[in-house]
Amino acid sequence: MVRESYDQWKVPNGQFNKAMTFYVKCDCGDLAKLTVYSGPFECPSCHKKYVQQYGK
């Protein structure tokens, strides 16, 4: 399953948007933000952390 990802303008990444990922969709429904360059992503609501995984 591919986690939804978004660029710095919170535009969903996908077939027509290959921008760098700044946000990923958290399980709680909020957006986890990239904390430092290359991650991890941290959700401001539940503080869950995500590591960016390519090809998933």
User: Do strands 23-25 and 5-6 pair parallel, antiparallel, or not at all (unpaired)?
Assistant: antiparallel
Judged by CB under 5 A, the residue of 12, 46, 49, 53 near Zn ion is 46
Q: How far is the CB of 12 from Zn ion (least distance, A)?
A: 18
- Which positions from 4 through 43 interact with Zn ion, judged by CB under 5 A? 26, 28, 30, 43
User: Do strands 31-34 and 41-42 pair parallel, antiparallel, or not at all (unpaired)?
Assistant: antiparallel
Q: Who's near 14: CB < 8 A, 6+ residues apart?
A: none
Q: Which is nearer to Zn ion, 6 or 15 (CB)?
A: 6
Interface residues toward Zn ion, by CB under 5 A: 26, 28, 30, 43, 45-46, 48
